[in-house]
Structure 1
Amino acid sequence: MSESTQQIQTINPKNLPITEANVVNIINNKPNFDNLPESDKASILKITVATEYSNELQHKAKIAKLNYADLKATFLANAKSSHTREAYTLALSRLEMYLSTLGKSFAELTTLDADKFIQSNFLGKPLTKGFLNVAAPNRASASIRRDAACIGGFYAFTQRVTDNEVVNPMRGTRSLPKKESAKEIEVPTETEVNAILSSKDLPKELKAAIAIMALRGLRIGGLPSLNIDYTSQAFTTQSKGKLHNGHLNETECIGATPVLKYFGTFEGKKKPFSNLDAPKLKMQISYWMKKLHQQGIIPTVYSAHDFRHYYSRAFYIKSGNDIYRLQKMLNHSCISITETYLKTLNLI
């Protein structure tokens, strides 16, 4: 009998009581694998392979039990705002398209798959009616980076709730496109805002929505939950998951025309936009801005957020460049966000 075989038999767990000290002793005093007889090496290798197969099968069994639809629904339900939820939903729809071409489930995506996904048309091209428009120009790098971050957020959530059974393949990727300089923001002028609000074609409900964004700076995401007290001219709403309250008076608003003048069409309804969600409002505003642009009333097609930019610029000037008052009006969580906002508007 070889010395190595004697060593193995000597430390055979069957010959020892199961205690922590004995386990440590076995690990510390085991013979070197290279010095073992070939028969012992073969036995150990068989055990190792069997253990690897067992671990792999157990992992696959746990993965098979995961319900992507349930995980996705829970993840989206925790989004802070409708805007965030919309961004997550669109990003995950791109991932689902990519996975369908691979014939893989979301839990089988490898880091190499993730890198190829980031560099593919599935993130690089715009969606038109739910389909990739491969003939269109490439999307901005900021859009690709945002969607990759959304998908990474979903995987990080899944990794946590599955106790690391699913890892985040997006983490640590070097395939993200470089950040590009943001294009200069086009902010409507006072004349253009007045022309929009004076349009006879624009529906009165949309005039009210644009008025409260342009003259009081509310986000479009805060309109569906907007609650107005017409007597005190106060409002409350939820915007990006945070409570936002204030007033619709001369102190907090800009412009010669009171904001509430545009809300007469609601006949005192406290929640004027409760029957609409932010994406629908955004689409309606986009539609009408295109029409007003075609009619020559405005020089370009403004987005809903451009009206908040208009308020930010006008109120900052009105307040004597008081960044702290502007932070409160915009309901920013910290002053650095307001500073970044003003830098993009070339005001600081």
Structure 2
Amino acid sequence: MEQIVQQIEAYKQEIAAFKAKTAEELEQFRIKFLGTKGIVKGIFGEMKNVANDKKKEFGQVLNAFKQLAEAKYEEFQQLKEAGNGAAGNLDLTLPGEPHRLGTRHPISLVRNKAIRIFERLGFTIAEGPEIEDDWHNFTALNLAENHPARDMQDTFYVQNNPDWLLRTHTSSAQVRTMELGKLPIRIICPGRVYRNETISARAHCFFHQIEGLYIAENVSFADLKQTLYYFVQEMFGENFKVRFRPSYFPFTEPSAEMDISCLICGGEGCNVCKHTGWVEILGCGMVHPQVLENCGIDSTKYTGFAFGMGIERLTMLKYQIKDLRLFSENDLRFLKQFQGVL
């Protein structure tokens, strides 16, 4: 230990006499004394060879030595900040580096446009939690616990509470709005939803929806059809065909699915439209009386319609994208294609 203390005293004298004139000399000092293989770290490694009754005394000597070296380095820190003379050679006449502006994701572009269209029709936005309970996601919507239609919306459950799940549709936000009892209701519910799906070009385990709900007195299916006709014309233009097909949803009666002619293949058939020439863009129908009653609304006085659509499907049609997986892969080669659209 005595020999090491003598070495430390010699190094202290060297440090005290050190004067740095350039950033290079200061860096050499740092490497020699404070670097990962420097003198300070090497001497600290000798602690294991010191007797236990001497460790405290030796540790104080080491700490004082380290602090001396660090203080000397900080004393000449202004040389390092001078940046090896770079500041003095800065050409202020050079143009600055441009700031690259980001762009909105295509999903966000279509979502925002759909919201603006429905806002012109008097719809307001209602939102709800992504982690829902069974009542708001299923039971209140006429999907009892053992209802077979639940198989179409298999989802992910929270392990520590089986009643909690990742919502399968934004209809749960509609239920929460109806439970407030403030009529009439005219809302759209955009948001992310989850389902236990096999990931493919047309499906994913999470996606985005916009659902709409209108409840008032004397609401008819004709009101629903004209609302949706207006929406698709504003979203896609008028160069396509539209058809309604009878369908089944537990929360609406009667129910329908709305198709438009495929904008990607022009109706000739492709993997997006399953080679039929038609693409389903939404499901809709008149709100089931039982759903109204479940939410405390008098079904003998009020009627309403509801609809729901996947934003990914709308985006694929609008921008002629053939693989839904591109939206979540964060591939800049894909995303940069939308840089002209802010």
**Do they superpose with TM above 0.5?**
no
TM-score after normalising by structure 1: 0.30
Larger relative strand fraction: 2
Larger relative helix fraction: 1
TM-score after normalising by structure 2: 0.30
